Amino acid sequence: MNRLSNKVAIITGASAGIGRATAKLFGAEGAKVILGARRESELASLVKEIEEAGGKAVYLAGDVKSEAYAEALVATALETYGKLDIAFNNAGIIGEAGPSTEISQSGWDEAIAVNLTSSFLGAKHQIKAMQANGGGSLIFTSTFVGYSNAFPGVAAYAASKSGLIGLTQVLAAEYGPANIRVNAILPGAVDTPMYQEMNDSADKQAFITNLHALKRVATPEEIARSVLYLASDDASFVSGTASLVDGGLSITRT
Protein backbone atom coordinates (compact mmCIF):
# COMPACT_ATOMS: atom_id res chain seq x y z
CA MET A 1 0.00 0.00 0.00
CA ASN A 2 0.92 3.68 -0.49
CA ARG A 3 3.42 3.03 -3.29
CA LEU A 4 2.22 6.32 -4.79
CA SER A 5 1.96 8.31 -1.58
CA ASN A 6 1.89 12.08 -2.27
CA LYS A 7 2.03 11.50 -6.05
CA VAL A 8 -0.32 13.29 -8.46
CA ALA A 9 -1.48 11.38 -11.53
CA ILE A 10 -3.52 12.08 -14.66
CA ILE A 11 -5.37 9.10 -16.17
CA THR A 12 -7.20 9.34 -19.50
CA GLY A 13 -9.76 6.82 -20.68
CA ALA A 14 -10.64 6.56 -17.00
CA SER A 15 -14.36 5.88 -17.31
CA ALA A 16 -14.07 2.14 -18.03
CA GLY A 17 -11.78 -0.85 -18.42
CA ILE A 18 -8.08 -0.50 -17.75
CA GLY A 19 -8.32 3.22 -17.02
CA ARG A 20 -11.01 2.79 -14.39
CA ALA A 21 -9.19 -0.09 -12.69
CA THR A 22 -5.94 1.89 -12.68
CA ALA A 23 -7.61 4.96 -11.22
CA LYS A 24 -9.00 2.93 -8.32
CA LEU A 25 -5.66 1.23 -7.71
CA PHE A 26 -3.73 4.51 -7.84
CA GLY A 27 -6.17 6.03 -5.36
CA ALA A 28 -5.77 3.07 -3.02
CA GLU A 29 -1.98 3.40 -3.29
CA GLY A 30 -2.01 7.02 -2.13
CA ALA A 31 -2.04 8.99 -5.38
CA LYS A 32 -4.21 12.03 -5.97
CA VAL A 33 -5.80 11.37 -9.36
CA ILE A 34 -7.18 13.55 -12.14
CA LEU A 35 -9.57 11.53 -14.25
CA GLY A 36 -10.21 12.22 -17.91
CA ALA A 37 -12.76 10.75 -20.35
CA ARG A 38 -15.80 11.84 -22.34
CA ARG A 39 -18.52 10.44 -20.08
CA GLU A 40 -19.08 12.76 -17.14
CA SER A 41 -21.50 10.54 -15.22
CA GLU A 42 -19.06 7.62 -15.20
CA LEU A 43 -16.23 9.89 -14.07
CA ALA A 44 -18.34 11.35 -11.28
CA SER A 45 -19.27 7.90 -10.00
CA LEU A 46 -15.62 6.83 -10.11
CA VAL A 47 -14.53 9.87 -8.09
CA LYS A 48 -17.15 8.94 -5.51
CA GLU A 49 -15.85 5.34 -5.34
CA ILE A 50 -12.26 6.51 -4.88
CA GLU A 51 -13.18 9.02 -2.20
CA GLU A 52 -15.36 6.51 -0.33
CA ALA A 53 -12.32 4.21 -0.24
CA GLY A 54 -10.24 6.99 1.32
CA GLY A 55 -8.54 8.33 -1.81
CA LYS A 56 -8.51 11.71 -3.47
CA ALA A 57 -9.73 12.38 -7.00
CA VAL A 58 -11.19 14.99 -9.30
CA TYR A 59 -12.40 14.68 -12.88
CA LEU A 60 -12.59 16.73 -16.03
CA ALA A 61 -14.72 15.45 -18.89
CA GLY A 62 -13.63 16.20 -22.44
CA ASP A 63 -12.32 14.98 -25.79
CA VAL A 64 -8.74 13.69 -25.77
CA LYS A 65 -8.37 14.72 -29.42
CA SER A 66 -8.35 18.35 -28.27
CA GLU A 67 -5.05 19.98 -27.29
CA ALA A 68 -7.02 22.42 -25.16
CA TYR A 69 -8.33 19.46 -23.16
CA ALA A 70 -4.79 18.11 -22.70
CA GLU A 71 -3.76 21.50 -21.35
CA ALA A 72 -6.83 21.68 -19.12
CA LEU A 73 -6.10 18.30 -17.51
CA VAL A 74 -2.60 19.46 -16.59
CA ALA A 75 -3.95 22.79 -15.34
CA THR A 76 -6.46 20.91 -13.17
CA ALA A 77 -3.65 18.85 -11.65
CA LEU A 78 -1.58 21.95 -10.90
CA GLU A 79 -4.48 24.03 -9.59
CA THR A 80 -5.92 21.24 -7.44
CA TYR A 81 -2.83 19.45 -6.18
CA GLY A 82 0.09 21.73 -7.07
CA LYS A 83 2.15 19.38 -9.26
CA LEU A 84 2.15 16.43 -11.66
CA ASP A 85 4.17 13.25 -11.12
CA ILE A 86 2.48 10.60 -13.30
CA ALA A 87 0.46 10.53 -16.50
CA PHE A 88 -1.23 7.41 -17.86
CA ASN A 89 -2.30 8.23 -21.42
CA ASN A 90 -4.68 5.34 -21.84
CA ALA A 91 -7.63 6.55 -23.93
CA GLY A 92 -8.15 4.54 -27.08
CA ILE A 93 -10.57 3.07 -29.60
CA ILE A 94 -10.61 0.15 -32.01
CA GLY A 95 -11.71 2.46 -34.79
CA GLU A 96 -13.09 1.51 -38.17
CA ALA A 97 -12.47 -2.16 -38.94
CA GLY A 98 -12.43 -4.17 -42.14
CA PRO A 99 -10.10 -4.91 -45.07
CA SER A 100 -7.35 -2.29 -45.15
CA THR A 101 -8.21 -1.19 -48.70
CA GLU A 102 -11.78 -0.50 -47.58
CA ILE A 103 -11.00 1.69 -44.55
CA SER A 104 -12.17 5.26 -45.06
CA GLN A 105 -9.77 8.14 -44.55
CA SER A 106 -12.07 9.53 -41.87
CA GLY A 107 -11.95 6.18 -40.04
CA TRP A 108 -8.17 6.08 -40.30
CA ASP A 109 -7.84 9.68 -39.14
CA GLU A 110 -10.11 9.09 -36.14
CA ALA A 111 -8.05 6.13 -34.90
CA ILE A 112 -4.79 8.03 -35.30
CA ALA A 113 -6.24 11.07 -33.54
CA VAL A 114 -7.61 9.19 -30.54
CA ASN A 115 -4.92 6.54 -30.10
CA LEU A 116 -1.74 8.36 -31.11
CA THR A 117 -2.13 12.11 -31.48
CA SER A 118 -4.00 12.48 -28.19
CA SER A 119 -1.13 10.79 -26.37
CA PHE A 120 1.36 13.11 -28.06
CA LEU A 121 -0.72 16.16 -27.07
CA GLY A 122 -1.07 14.88 -23.54
CA ALA A 123 2.65 14.23 -23.19
CA LYS A 124 3.51 17.61 -24.69
CA HIS A 125 1.89 19.40 -21.77
CA GLN A 126 2.45 16.78 -19.08
CA ILE A 127 6.21 16.83 -19.65
CA LYS A 128 6.40 20.57 -19.04
CA ALA A 129 4.70 20.15 -15.67
CA MET A 130 6.94 17.20 -14.79
CA GLN A 131 10.06 19.17 -15.67
CA ALA A 132 8.97 21.88 -13.26
CA ASN A 133 8.49 19.19 -10.63
CA GLY A 134 11.92 17.56 -11.10
CA GLY A 135 10.77 14.47 -13.00
CA GLY A 136 7.96 12.01 -13.44
CA SER A 137 6.61 8.92 -15.15
CA LEU A 138 4.70 8.84 -18.46
CA ILE A 139 2.90 5.67 -19.50
CA PHE A 140 1.06 4.87 -22.74
CA THR A 141 -1.33 2.04 -23.54
CA SER A 142 -0.19 0.36 -26.75
CA THR A 143 -1.04 -3.25 -27.73
CA PHE A 144 0.45 -6.52 -28.91
CA VAL A 145 -1.52 -6.12 -32.16
CA GLY A 146 0.94 -5.07 -34.84
CA TYR A 147 3.89 -5.69 -32.52
CA SER A 148 4.12 -9.40 -31.71
CA ASN A 149 0.97 -10.59 -33.51
CA ALA A 150 -1.07 -9.40 -36.46
CA PHE A 151 -4.82 -9.53 -36.91
CA PRO A 152 -6.56 -8.78 -40.20
CA GLY A 153 -9.07 -5.97 -40.33
CA VAL A 154 -7.61 -3.58 -37.76
CA ALA A 155 -4.98 -1.63 -39.72
CA ALA A 156 -5.82 1.76 -38.21
CA TYR A 157 -5.81 0.39 -34.68
CA ALA A 158 -2.52 -1.47 -35.15
CA ALA A 159 -0.76 1.45 -36.84
CA SER A 160 -1.90 4.02 -34.28
CA LYS A 161 -0.99 1.86 -31.30
CA SER A 162 2.36 0.86 -32.82
CA GLY A 163 3.14 4.54 -33.25
CA LEU A 164 2.99 4.92 -29.48
CA ILE A 165 6.06 2.69 -29.15
CA GLY A 166 8.12 5.02 -31.31
CA LEU A 167 6.79 8.01 -29.37
CA THR A 168 7.71 6.27 -26.12
CA GLN A 169 11.29 5.70 -27.21
CA VAL A 170 11.87 9.23 -28.48
CA LEU A 171 10.40 10.88 -25.39
CA ALA A 172 12.40 8.58 -23.12
CA ALA A 173 15.61 9.59 -24.89
CA GLU A 174 14.76 13.28 -24.97
CA TYR A 175 13.60 13.69 -21.39
CA GLY A 176 15.57 11.06 -19.51
CA PRO A 177 18.09 13.76 -18.52
CA ALA A 178 15.17 15.60 -16.87
CA ASN A 179 14.40 12.49 -14.77
CA ILE A 180 11.26 11.72 -16.77
CA ARG A 181 10.68 8.03 -17.48
CA VAL A 182 8.52 7.03 -20.44
CA ASN A 183 7.14 3.53 -21.03
CA ALA A 184 4.36 1.77 -22.92
CA ILE A 185 2.36 -1.24 -21.80
CA LEU A 186 1.30 -3.80 -24.42
CA PRO A 187 -1.58 -5.79 -22.95
CA GLY A 188 -2.86 -9.02 -24.37
CA ALA A 189 -6.62 -9.49 -24.45
CA VAL A 190 -8.34 -7.84 -21.49
CA ASP A 191 -11.94 -8.40 -20.43
CA THR A 192 -13.18 -4.86 -21.05
CA PRO A 193 -16.18 -3.43 -22.92
CA MET A 194 -13.91 -3.00 -25.97
CA TYR A 195 -12.93 -6.68 -25.82
CA GLN A 196 -16.56 -7.73 -25.53
CA GLU A 197 -17.43 -5.57 -28.54
CA MET A 198 -14.68 -7.12 -30.67
CA ASN A 199 -15.38 -10.68 -29.54
CA ASP A 200 -19.14 -10.93 -29.41
CA SER A 201 -19.53 -14.70 -29.54
CA ALA A 202 -18.37 -17.70 -27.57
CA ASP A 203 -16.36 -18.97 -30.53
CA LYS A 204 -14.48 -15.68 -30.92
CA GLN A 205 -13.72 -15.52 -27.21
CA ALA A 206 -12.50 -19.12 -27.17
CA PHE A 207 -10.16 -18.39 -30.10
CA ILE A 208 -8.68 -15.33 -28.39
CA THR A 209 -8.36 -17.13 -25.06
CA ASN A 210 -6.41 -19.98 -26.64
CA LEU A 211 -3.84 -17.59 -28.12
CA HIS A 212 -2.49 -16.93 -24.62
CA ALA A 213 -0.07 -19.26 -22.83
CA LEU A 214 -2.16 -18.82 -19.69
CA LYS A 215 -5.29 -19.84 -21.65
CA ARG A 216 -7.32 -16.94 -20.31
CA VAL A 217 -7.65 -13.22 -20.84
CA ALA A 218 -6.62 -10.61 -18.31
CA THR A 219 -8.79 -8.65 -15.94
CA PRO A 220 -8.40 -4.85 -16.03
CA GLU A 221 -7.06 -5.03 -12.49
CA GLU A 222 -4.15 -7.22 -13.60
CA ILE A 223 -3.10 -4.68 -16.22
CA ALA A 224 -3.51 -1.88 -13.68
CA ARG A 225 -0.90 -3.52 -11.45
CA SER A 226 1.64 -3.37 -14.28
CA VAL A 227 0.84 0.31 -14.75
CA LEU A 228 1.32 0.82 -11.02
CA TYR A 229 4.78 -0.72 -11.24
CA LEU A 230 5.85 1.61 -14.05
CA ALA A 231 4.39 4.62 -12.25
CA SER A 232 6.08 3.82 -8.95
CA ASP A 233 9.64 4.22 -7.75
CA ASP A 234 9.97 0.43 -8.04
CA ALA A 235 10.56 1.11 -11.76
CA SER A 236 13.03 3.93 -11.16
CA PHE A 237 15.50 2.55 -13.76
CA VAL A 238 12.89 1.50 -16.32
CA SER A 239 12.43 3.79 -19.31
CA GLY A 240 11.87 3.50 -23.04
CA THR A 241 10.30 0.04 -22.84
CA ALA A 242 7.49 -1.62 -24.75
CA SER A 243 6.36 -3.79 -21.85
CA LEU A 244 4.39 -6.88 -22.81
CA VAL A 245 1.68 -7.75 -20.32
CA ASP A 246 0.14 -10.40 -22.51
CA GLY A 247 -0.23 -13.69 -20.63
CA GLY A 248 2.33 -15.30 -22.90
CA LEU A 249 0.45 -14.49 -26.11
CA SER A 250 3.61 -13.34 -27.90
CA ILE A 251 5.38 -16.69 -27.43
CA THR A 252 2.46 -19.10 -27.86
CA ARG A 253 2.25 -21.28 -30.96
CA THR A 254 -0.07 -23.98 -29.64
* Residue ranges covered by each domain of the chain: 8-190+219-245
Residue 50: per-residue pLDDT? 98
Direct distance between the N- and C-terminal alpha carbons of the chain, in angstroms, rounded to an integer = 38
Residue 198: per-residue pLDDT? 76
Which amino acid is present at 25?
L
Could you give the CA distance from residue 227 to residue 224 in angstroms, rounded to a whole number? 5
Q: Please, what sign has the CA dihedral across residues 223, 227, 230, 234?
A: negative
What is each CA distance from 104 to 99, 101, 117, in whole angstroms? 10, 8, 18
Could you give the CA distance from residue 247 to residue 218 in angstroms, rounded to a whole number? 7
What does pLDDT average to over the chain? 96
Stronger pLDDT, 41 or 150, i.e. the higher one? 41
pLDDT tens digits for range 90-117: 999 999 999 999 999 999 999 999 999 9
The CATH number of the structural domain formed by 8-190+219-245 is 3.40.50.720
What percent of the chain has a predicted confidence (pLDDT) above 90?
Answer: 90
Helix, strand or coil for residue 114? helix
**Kindly report the CA angle at 228 between 227 and 230, in degrees rounded to 5?**
65
Catalytic residue among 59, 81, 157, 175: 157
Q: Band the pLDDT of 149: cuts 50, 70, 90.
A: confident
Residue 138: per-residue pLDDT? 98
pLDDT at 10 over 80: yes
Residue 196: per-residue pLDDT? 80
Which amino acid is present at 207?
F
Catalytic residue check, 157:
yes
Could you give the CA distance from residue 206 to residue 204 in angstroms, rounded to a whole number? 5
- Predicted TM-score (pTM) of the model is 0.96
Strands (E), the chain: 8-12, 32-37, 56-61, 86-89, 136-141, 180-187, 242-245
Could you give the CA distance from residue 121 to residue 89 in angstroms, rounded to a whole number? 10
What is each CA distance from 11 to 41, 53, 60, 207, in whole angstroms? 16, 18, 11, 31
231 with 182: CB under 8 angstroms?
A: no
